[in-house]
Chains A and B, each alone.
Chain A
Amino acid sequence: MLRRTVQWVLLGLLILGLVVAPHILDRYTIFLLYLLWLYIGLAQGWNLLAGYAGLISLGVAAFFGIGAYTAAMTVIHLKYHFLLGSLLGGVLAMAFAAIVAVPIFRFSGIYFAIGTLVLSEALRIFMISWKFTGSADGLALPIEKSPSFVWFYYLMLGVAAGATALVVLILRTKLGMGLRAIGNNEKSAQNMGVNTFRTKLYIFLISAFITGVVGGIHATQMGSIEPYSIFNAMWTLSTANTVIIGGIGTVAGPILGSIFVIFLGELLADYHTFHLAITGVLLILIIRFIPAGIWGELRETRPFRRLAGRTNR
């Protein structure tokens, strides 16, 4: 009972802290936190696919980019509110996922990864030359429509929390059981009556939606977008990096991984040349020595085992 109360109090304090934070902290720190929420959102979406269903996607940038461009185009041309634009971004990313699902699910393992990478690279090249979306120059969003920076902080915080909640929720349903079954052993899942194509499709759509919404909000926050950076494979790699460091196939992993990566980036900000090298070495060390990631390792230890519980959080 007491334990429960303490937990609720701690959670309350955390929420209060997160709400108050942008009013106390300096603009740069708020921006870092905004980036943290952004990575948590992407990481949760990717982890759903890679961590639970075992589908390693290298196409994060594709769905992120579709979300970003959809939001920008609807704000510019249709004069929609950027929130609606970002939601539409998620929907369009989902629609794109639905179209490519049939061919891409014919691949598995490394071929699925390469297939999704090709998809996002193809899209980048296409966007560079498509006049309708401003080709290589990209798009600039009307500044007067942009809300204050603090609002983006809250919005992305909401997306990160929402994505995390969604993952927890899915894991508690039949869909989540089927998803984990596929990630464990696809052949065996079929043998146990799981329609693996449909289950993977649902997860692929959900993951694409989350990624698209994050892309839409980020586009609006930046004010201008161009295909080189928006469809950059960097989004994909950072996301995967974050999840693997934090703990693939766990709910807390993407969060811890994002905190770790952002904090590390900040720590090494003055040594720009070493930043990537050190991150790379760390990744190799983590894969070599704690392949389950930070949380994957921690939850096996005594104080955290209860917290992780049985639903693979």
Chain B
Amino acid sequence: MSSLHESRNGALLELDHITRRFGAVTAVNDVSLSIEEGQTMGVMGPNGSGKTTLLNLIMGVYPLDEGEVRFAGARISGLRTDEVSRGGIGRTYQIPQPFLKMTVLENLVVGDLYGGNHRSLKRARQRATAILDRVGLGNRTETEARKLGLLDLKRLELARVLSLRPRLLLLDEIAAGLVESEVAELRSLILELKASGQTMLVIEHILSFIFSVSDRIAVLNFGQKVVEGAPGEIAKNPMVHEIYLGTEKSGGDAARMAEKASGPQEGEAEPLLVLKGVNSGYGEFQVLFDVSLHIPKGEIVALIGVNGAGKTTLIRTITRQLPLRSGEVFFKGESIGGVRPFDVAGLGIAQCIEGRKLFPELTVEENLEIGAYCRRARQTRQTTIRDVFELFPALADRRWQIVSTLSGGEQQMVAIGRALMARPELIVFDELSLGLAPIIIDTLYEAIKKINGQGVTVLLVEQNVHRSLEVADRAYIIERGRIALSGTAEELVRNDHVKEAYFGI
């Protein structure tokens, strides 16, 4: 379809073998992509696959290590962000970044004046008003941006870049965090733009959204472009399924299934943690709706869902970092609704947070010691540390090393070790495998099994469906803040709804 001749004349944006490394991690690895005038290019890939970094490289937020970015035939790599923006590329942020203490209208006036190189505030106001009417913010023009709700903030984020009159729009997860009806509304806005001939690059986790707005889709994984094609092809591509649902560990599947079948049956073990009708969220923005679940003592329970489904919010609610709006949380039969966040560890709940959140300037051993801060763990600190080093021998050799100098996998081991140091009865793992190589994920999952074997109950929160169902006894699928499905791991492995939740097919 795209002969050499066509791509040369028609391409508005060309990424020519671009690479960017952060330390040992290659965030974007030799990616080439070209978007033609009037085309909508979707970019998808799991969390940490390099999508947002790609946008940052186009916008000149970071310099490229290798390769070149061309826009309308001219090289733009090396330009400052504001130059790229004035040159005709408008970019929205995943988390809206409005000028909070300026009015909605003023937010757009800035873009109009600078992006369009205009001087007259009066005419800028007129043009801005027209855009606001178009995105449905016509009645909020004089409201300060900080007073807007999430949907309006997303609309504003879109309206702001439109005020730049960009030839190319880069949309980063514009629908993330919205409820279904709101997603539909934004989708129709995007489709309107598309119909008017706007060229776009769309990053989105809600796959049904990206499939419906894109002309072509590129899939990233570990910073590399894995495949590119029409939405229909991508939705059917087995490689894409593998990336999103995770790979199964080689060979072990059947054996594990058999092993699990003889494990504890439903309702047999006493529940360690129980959630009843939990509603929770941030400010005006409700994330969890009437979530109930129970985690039996001694089991591994997986909580599965796409980005933005509410997994991390659920953990924060359990660990008391977010207040309950309504509903109850019971641990060992007692309500923990009134427990203070820093007392949660003392109850026997430890968590291994997404992104690890280690103390980067401290050594491995110091990081572990902090994990044993609560009273129940302090006396046994020395023995627990030995247990951790037994579990991860690699850490024993590096006990004096500063944590920030470790590899990603080793840091994840420290994070797991630190959680174990609290001698928990329940340990929560949030996105354990995020951004790590498969071989390291194998090691970590082996460790989880060992930990569980010693009697610790595990709540495993993952995007990687297959991996987590392999080790779990039971799983809950969470979709847009609601428990969509639950059952034993065997049941769910065979259930097509799991695939649906991800691909909408």
Binding site for B on A (CB under 8 A): 172-174, 177-178, 180-181, 183-185, 187-196, 249, 310, 312
Residue B15, interface by CB 8 Å: no
Contacts of A191 in B (CB 8 A): 59, 81-82, 85, 91, 93, 97
Given the complex, which residues of B lie within 8 Å of A249, measured CB to CB?
Answer: 101
B99 and A180: CB pair below 8 A? Answer: yes
**Of B108-116, B130-138, B292-300, B489-497, the one touching chain A:** B108-116
Shortest CB distance B170–A (Å): 10
Q: A190 near B85 (CB under 8 angstroms)?
A: yes
The reply to whether the CB of B470 lies closer than 8 angstroms to some CB of chain A is: no
Give the secondary structure class of A's interface: helix
Chain A residues in 8 Å Cβ range of B121? 172-174, 177
Q: Is the pair A194, B110 in contact by a Cβ cutoff of 8 Å?
A: yes
Q: Once the chains bind, are B113 and A188 in contact (CB under 8 Å)? A: no
In the complex, 10 of the A-B residue pairs with CB atoms within 8 angstroms, ordered by the A residue number, are A174-B113, A177-B121, A180-B99, A180-B101, A185-B97, A188-B93, A191-B81, A191-B85, A192-B82, A193-B164
Q: Does B98 contact A (CB under 8 A)?
A: yes
Best-buried of B81, B86, B101 by chain A (most CB within 10 Å): B81
For A188, the chain B residues whose CB sits under 8 A away are 93, 97-99
Interface membership of B142, Cβ < 8 A: yes
Which residues on B are within 8 Å of A, measured CB to CB?
Answer: 59, 80-83, 85-86, 91, 93, 97-103, 106, 109-111, 113-115, 118-119, 121, 142, 160, 163-164
Whether B99 contacts A193 by the Cβ 8 Å rule is no
Known: A184-B100, A188-B99. A194 touches B82 (CB 8 A): yes
Query: Once bound together, how far apart are the Cα atoms of A130 and B408, in whole Å?
Result: 56
Interchain nearest-CB distance for B8 vs A (Å):
28
Give Cα A173 to B83, complex, Å: 21
Besides the contacts A178-B114, A192-B115, what 14 more A-B pairs have beta carbons closer than 8 Å?
A174-B118, A174-B119, A177-B110, A180-B101, A187-B97, A188-B93, A188-B97, A191-B82, A191-B93, A192-B82, A192-B110, A194-B110, A249-B101, A312-B101
Given A187-B97, A310-B103, the answer on whether A177 and B109 have CB atoms closer than 8 Å is yes
Specify which of B86, B99, B142 lies most central, judged by the most chain A CB atoms within 10 Å of its CB.
B99
Q: How far is the CA of A221 from the CA of B83 in the complex (A)?
A: 47
> Is B100's CB under 8 angstroms from A192's CB?
no
Across-interface contacts of A312 in B (CB, < 8 A): 101-102
Contacts of A174 in B (CB 8 A): 113-114, 118-119, 121
Cα(A191)–Cα(B82), bound, Å: 6
Q: Which of A172, A181, A194 contacts B102 (CB 8 A)?
A: A181
CB A308 to nearest CB in B, in angstroms, measures 12
A179 CB, nearest partner CB in chain B, Å: 10
For B99, give the chain A residue with the smallest CB separation. Answer: A184
Across the interface, do A185 and B100 meet the contact criterion of CB distance under 8 Å? Answer: yes
CA–CA, A190 to B178, complex, Å?
27
B115 and A193 within 8 A (CB)? yes
Most B CB contacts (10 A, CB to CB) among A187, A192, A194 go to A192
Contact (Cβ within 8 A) B59 A194: no
- B99 x A181 contact (CB < 8 A): yes
Q: Which of B102, B109, B110, B119 has the most CB of A within 10 A?
A: B110
